[in-house]
Chain A
Amino acid sequence: MNSNIIEAVNLHKKFGDFVAVEDINFAVRKGEIFGLLGPNGAGKTTTINMLIGLAKITDGKIFYNGKDLTKNINNAQNIIGVVADESNLYAEMSGFDNLCFCGALYGINKIVREKRAHELIELFDLTEFSHKKFQTYSKGMKRKLTIAAALIHQPDILFLDEPTSGIDVASVRQIRNLIKQLNYNGTSIFLTTHYIEEAERLCDRIAIINQGKIIKLDTVANLTSAVQRDNIVEIVFETNIANEASLSADLQQQFPAVKIEIKNSNTLKIISGTKINIVPFINILADRNIMEARLIKPSLEDAFVLITGIGLKLMKKEKEK
């Protein structure tokens, strides 16, 4: 039995002379959350569109459950659920009617689709609003209903394009928990997001895409450990550090093997290529009211910046545009 729900082999996409996606290869394993990370224009949406049948493939192959469906993605529609980057349900219809209509598109009979719609509305905590028009929903509620609509036919894989973009913190939290829950119940997830910490928190494996090419694909742990070159310890004080410069210089003199940096007004950073013994530092700094000392591990953000060479601020700005 094939353990991959999707396999993309040498995918190419050209728009005229412009190469949007070039020689992309990856596989999404059954039951995993697979993330596709990249800046605007990197080829994320084009890749998703090819996988779901909204874009023609210039070259390459797409396999669903081991079957070559390159020429007929329509045959995979029953196992695919898609949440576009915009909430694209019908404004004039109620939440409940929207879900029932989406169920009908997959040929689900009335009794079953109404039952499922009720279940999903309950699961997504929208019972109170189920008979209100979609256009009256808040952004967060719209997003939740859009995800629910993609689940009405119980797909094996759910494509989520920026699922938490532009919504309130409480809804973001709820949606992230729902994604985890769906995955726990066996749905494979294909996620694109520009929130790197979201990908880090949710994804089992991540492909980093830039300028139409996948430049790295690995587990979050492997991606981050690959960029860890130094050990870093941060010491945070309760109050601002007095005489920052002289403290830094004193410590540097006493511990020449490490590098001392003042991170901000109340945080000191100790960087070393080898293990750091923090006891001597704590002893020296004890009278300065230490709040905490913490080991800093590289994040997926660090890995992303290093791998792509793209600043995070630039990425967020691009997305906002």
Chain B
Amino acid sequence: MKSLTAFWNILLKDMKNYYLKPPNISWGIIFPFAWMLMMFIRTKSAFNMLEVFPGIIAMSILFGTTSMLAVTITFERKSRSFERLLLAPISIELLVIAKISGAIIFGIFNSFIPVLISFFYFKVVVENFTALATGIILLSFVSTLLGLFISVAAKEVFEAQTYSNFFRFPMIFLCGLFVPIASLPLLIRPLSYLLPITYGVDILRFSVGQNNILAFGLNLLLLLAFCSLLFYLSIFNIKRKWIL
């Protein structure tokens, strides 16, 4: 019960202090909207929404979560307020889960705008709602954990943002967000399968009846495996780097 009180209050504090601030809410709205508008202008209104739908959702989640974690983790580490959390009588695992929960919720929120615009403006038909929800949730988890992994390695907020970009921008091209993996050069293709976003995007494609590469269940298992790996690597790094 005591741990639960701590967990809930860390999440609540992060929501109030970071995620519910107007600039972040507007980021969650403007970023996906801008991407959709870009696609719309590029193709002169004739783009196939179904094709770009998974990519825009994945981008919104990926950029939203990784950017926020760079602030909530790295900034607190720099200002030493994170020490307060490390000194609390709760396990590091629970502390980290509490810290990333806000970003996961933020990631899910970020997906709402492209989903709503796709539904109501572009009349996208979702064939499998469970797959869509699972895809969004797992993408939020894995992107957040990727952000955590990067943030733990950085000392400054700008450093975390820079490291994030090393991962984020190649992912746009490698994870089948807008360029199908099948059309990538053969040599680069294995790289795509090393990146967790690939599997999340594949689930989203499946949810709207687009050609998916792997089975839904396999994508789900692989994403869960990536989540566990990134979580434990981050915990390992926190213990190694922050508790000297």
Q: Which residues of A contact B (CB under 8 A)?
A: 15, 49, 52-56, 74-75, 77-78, 80, 82, 84, 86, 88-93, 101-102, 104-109, 149
Contact = CB atoms under 8 A, between A and B. Distances in A.
B6 A106 contact: yes
Given A52-B87, A56-B243, A107 B81 contact: no
Nearest to A91: B79
Q: Which 3 A-B pairs have the closest CB atoms?
A: A107-B2, A104-B9, A77-B89
B90 interface: yes
Contacts of A93: 13, 17
Contacts of A84: 80, 83
Interface string B82-94: 0111111111000
Interface residues of B, number: 25
Contacts of B2: 106-107
B5 A77 contact: no
Contacts of B91: 74
Contacts of B84: 88-89, 102, 105, 149
B165 to A, nearest CB: 26
Given A77-B89, A90-B13, A106-B2, 16 more contacts: A54-B86, A74-B89, A75-B89, A77-B87, A80-B87, A88-B81, A90-B17, A93-B13, A93-B17, A104-B5, A105-B6, A105-B84, A105-B89, A106-B89, A107-B1, A108-B5
Contact of A90 (B4, B81, B87): B81
Contact of B89 (A78, A91, A101): A78
Given A52-B87, A55-B243, A107-B89, A89 B6 contact: no
Task: Indicate the member of B3, B5, B85 with the most A CB atoms within 10 Å.
Answer: B5
B37 interface: no
B244 interface: yes
Contacts of A101: 9, 13
A109 B243 CA distance: 29
Contacts of A49: 244
Task: Indicate the member of A49, A86, A106 with the most B CB atoms within 10 Å.
Answer: A106
Interface in B4-54: 4-6, 8-10, 13, 17
Contact of B80 (A55, A75, A86): A86
A53 B13 contact: no
A294 B2 CA distance: 58
A56 B244 contact: yes
B244 A55 contact: yes
Contacts of A106: 2, 6, 88-89
Contacts of A91: 79
Contacts of B10: 105
A92 B71 CA distance: 14
A104 B9 CA distance: 6
Nearest to A110: B5
Contacts of A149: 84
B244 A15 contact: yes
Interface string B173-186: 00000000000000
Task: Indicate the member of A77, A84, A105, A109 with the most B CB atoms within 10 Å.
Answer: A105
Nearest to A74: B89
Interface in B54-105: 79-81, 83-91
Contacts of B80: 84, 86, 88
Nearest to B239: A56
Contacts of A102: 84
Task: Indicate the member of A74, A102, A104, A106 with the most B CB atoms within 10 Å.
Answer: A104
A105 B243 contact: no
B57 to A, nearest CB: 30
Task: Indicate the member of B1, B4, B79 with the most A CB atoms within 10 Å.
Answer: B79
Contacts of B4: 107
26 contacts: A15-B244, A49-B244, A54-B83, A54-B87, A54-B243, A54-B244, A55-B244, A56-B243, A74-B91, A75-B89, A77-B87, A88-B80, A91-B79, A101-B9, A101-B13, A104-B9, A105-B85, A105-B90, A106-B88, A106-B89, A107-B1, A107-B2, A107-B3, A107-B4, A109-B5, A149-B84
A108 B10 CA distance: 13
A53 B6 contact: no
B5 A88 contact: no
B43 to A, nearest CB: 43
